[in-house]
Chains A and B, each alone.
Chain A
Amino acid sequence: MYTTEMSKNPTQLGPSAAEPPELIEAFEARVANDEFIEPKDWMPEAYRKTLIRQISQHAHSEIVGMLPEGNWITRAPSLRRKAVLLAKVQDEGGHGLYLYSAAETLGTSRDDMIDALHSGKAKYSTIFNYPTLNWADIGAIGWLVDGAAIMNQVPLQRTSYGPYARAMVRVCKEESFHQRQGFEIMMQMAAGTPEQKAMAQDAMDRWWWPALMMFGPPDENSPNTAQSVRWRIKRETNDELRQKFVDVTVPQAQAIGLTVPDPDLKWDEARGHYDYGAIDWDEFWAVVKGEGPVAKERMKARTEAWEKGAWVREAAMAHAAKQAARRQKEAANG
């Protein structure tokens, strides 16, 4: 679904003394020239580490992101909505899988990444630490959260690391139905009974600000942006993307009669953009630190699924080993 730079004090990025300057120079030139870097190509250690962190955060976000929507699968109000939601949450799982695979090409293992998530070392998008309280939240997530994600992901289809870019192409292709189905739910509810309209507005009120936070801290407070943009790991800054999102989303909300919960929101003719109110960055950093309303529930669900699945994963490996041994024996007995 989405990621952005979430470490406040990331490891210092920059050329390491041990890396030959001519290799670094050639690498920087290739990236500046918009060439793709492939897994076995030489790359600076900082680039590799940054990518592993970013791609695995992104993958974790997809997997944890299955939970808030999964919360409504058993309560979807029609068979069609149930099928759509199942397919959508399944897609998020698929996206997590594509992204873990892309990160694995950089020399890390999925198990290590998952361990980092469960130990709290790795971050995931703050948005998933908010609860889904009514059915309209499923609409709001598709429309606002996936909408914000798409803003961020479309440019990543041209990111410099080949496997990541290819994963993003696949993700973006699949993601296109997610936002539309979310908007459809919101539209239907906003035009529905008074209770439905109230649910839709309630969802809008709760998801608007967290959606804006998804783009990450403001540019002046985003230490790695310059480096990441230069490396084509990031193609537009947090604030640029956030503004784009506000500009396209506000008219959509107006069109279906929902109020954006921001008294300071107004069109700025001179800038040609909407001005919006101050974002509560204290809340953002608290949620990044794991203090989101349902952060504990999300992590509990993930670790439980993983631990309860251990015997299944082990059994399948044990069976594969037995089968291999049998085949070997058969071959020996010719």
Chain B
Amino acid sequence: MANEKKEWPLWEVFIRAKNGLSHRHAGSVHAPDADIALRHARDTYTRRMEGVSIWVIRSSDIAASDPADAGPIFEPAESKVYRHPTFYVVPDHIKHI
């Protein structure tokens, strides 16, 4: 427990590789606060021009779905094939649809 207080908290790092793309999870760093976390993320994950924008968020602030509930959460979508365009049959001679 003592460790938890002393250790710099963990931050998740998200990098936008270039404008037009979303930020993507790159990894994590330890840092005492958000400003230093951004600097640590920059020094750790963009040494090779990997990014144009960085987000950091305290790892403990992320709410995540539970893999044990993956069935009830994600499987109901599997039966809703009508959400996909290929579900609908359009004759070949109809164009631009």
Contacts and interface: CB of A to CB of B under 8 A. Distances in A.
Real complex partners, A and B? yes
A316 B6 contact: no
Contacts of B66: 40
A320 B32 contact: yes
A38 B64 CA distance: 12
Given A97-B29, A170-B27, A174-B48, A42 B68 contact: yes
Given A40-B67, A98-B27, A111 B3 contact: yes
A160 to B, nearest CB: 15
Nearest to B3: A111
Given A90-B47, A317-B32, A323-B33, A104 B10 contact: yes
A126 to B, nearest CB: 27
Given A40-B66, A98-B27, A111 B7 contact: yes
A167 B66 CA distance: 23
A319 B27 contact: no
A8 interface: no
A41 B8 contact: no
Nearest to B13: A101
A38 B4 contact: no
Interface in A279-334: 313-314, 316-317, 319-320, 323
Contacts of A90: 47
Contacts of A170: 27
B16 interface: no
Interface string A213-255: 0000000000000000000000000000000000000000000
B27, B44, B64: residue with the most chain A Cβ atoms closer than 10 Å = B27
- Number of chain B interface residues as a range: 20 to 34
Contacts of A94: 44, 47
Interface string B1-38: 00111111010000000000000000111101100100
Given A110-B30, A170-B27, A320-B32, A314 B6 contact: yes
A181 B17 CA distance: 27
B44 to A, nearest CB: 6
Contact of A38 (B3, B36, B67): B67
A25 interface: no
Given A40-B67, A110-B30, A323-B33, A317 B47 contact: no
A111 B2 CA distance: 10
Contacts of B32: 313, 316-317, 319-320
Nearest to B64: A40
A333 B62 CA distance: 29
Interface of A: 38, 40-42, 87, 90-91, 94, 97-98, 101, 104, 109-112, 166-167, 170, 174, 313-314, 316-317, 319-320, 323
Interface of B: 3-8, 10, 27-30, 32-33, 36, 44, 47-48, 64, 66-68
The 3 closest A-B pairs by CB, nearest first: A316-B32, A320-B33, A101-B28
18 contacts: A38-B67, A40-B66, A40-B67, A94-B44, A97-B44, A101-B10, A109-B3, A110-B7, A111-B3, A111-B7, A112-B3, A174-B48, A314-B6, A316-B33, A317-B6, A317-B32, A319-B32, A323-B33
Given A90-B47, A97-B27, 15 more contacts: A40-B66, A91-B47, A94-B47, A98-B27, A101-B10, A101-B27, A104-B10, A110-B7, A111-B3, A112-B3, A174-B48, A314-B6, A317-B8, A319-B32, A319-B33
